[in-house]
Structure 1
Amino acid sequence: MTRLVPNRRAIIISAAIAVVTVLILLAMDRPPICECGYVKLWHGQINDSGNSQHISDWYTPSHIIHGMIFYALGWLLFTKWGWGGVDGQRWGLALAVALESAWEILENTPLVIDRFRSVTANWGYSGDSVLNSAADIGWMAFGFWLALRLPVKLTAALALIGEVVAALAVRDNLTLNVIMLLYPVDAIAQWQAAGMAA
């Protein structure tokens, strides 16, 4: 199977996209780091002021899975459907970083922050720190790298494990977030709320 191995130019452009994203988030007045004044490698609470402010949290698996999904999308576009020819295969990572960066910017707009607060398990969500957004892009790139290196079945198994562990630990994950953002389901909201009350 042909792999989406980025060349040096694609890696540099991917890094440039990430840097521009950080600058845009700073221009949007997102806090550079947690307003608590310190940086943690891991923050395990999803409904307090430290959520989405540090390097990793319970939503990190979602961003790793983004990378796996974006790898699959790039493979479809550049390998299966042949967009860009053989050279197009080098641009999967840049496409993935561009998509993740666009999400990080959109996710930190008042419209999406308010949507998260009103329909997801993140009732106290106030947006991401710039550090967290940059880390999310990095975690996505890690997921892309895993999909590049690992067999498809193992990649899918890791994604499934990430979803199940997050659902069991905090009653939220990528799948539930997407459902609740696009079409909120009362039964899911009640189940998530019961977990917060426990």
Structure 2
Amino acid sequence: MTARTTVVIAEDSVLLRDGLVRLLELADFEVLAAEPDAERFLASVDTHRPDLVLVDVRMPPTFTSEGIRAALVVREQHPDTAVMVLSQYVEEQYATELLSSHSKGVGYLLKDRVADTSDFIAALRDVRDGGTVLDPEVVSQLLIRSRRRDPLAALSPREREVLDLMAQGRTNAAIARTLYISEGAVEKNVSSIFTKLDLPPAEGDHRRVLAVLRWLEQED
């Protein structure tokens, strides 16, 4: 017989915790522990070394980030344990932090998804098997966050072309010849690039160099 997938749960809501235990056991998972706070959860993970953990983002005592912090500890100390995070809302910062630590065997779902039990169980199995499962709403919010944090995303296609040529060391005259536009048009694009990259005139700063550095950071 194939060994059942072992699970440890961290969820402070008694109703949801008990419901998850029953749901998982019906799906042939073996729930080794279901804890109401992060401290007990981590102790149970150390003791049982489960195949998979389910963790609520917000847990006692402050109901802020205890759960996700515990999930990050599991990722670091027990890298072979798959992690599924459940959250009432999209916590962009925490989702990014969790995924950046290790993208295999990790999931982030909104609690509403638990209601669709077949899809939820399938998601748990995917994560257990090393997959990555993200709630569509989480993906949407992370994309929005990424665009907000990337100043280059605000550049027009022409401005990107100009910045690319600046990164190659071209002068405004050389850029104008390459793109078949006037030097005046190049100057307007360069000025717009400085504005969009938040590079105001400042003594001791070479804005052209700083803009190119931003471009190179993106290319890396």
Same fold (TM over 0.5): no
Higher helix share: 1
* TM-score band w.r.t. shorter chain: under 0.3
Q: Which has the higher contact order (CA 8 A, sep 6+)?
A: 1
If the length of structure 1 is used for normalisation, what is the TM-score? Answer: 0.23
If the length of structure 2 is used for normalisation, what is the TM-score? Answer: 0.21
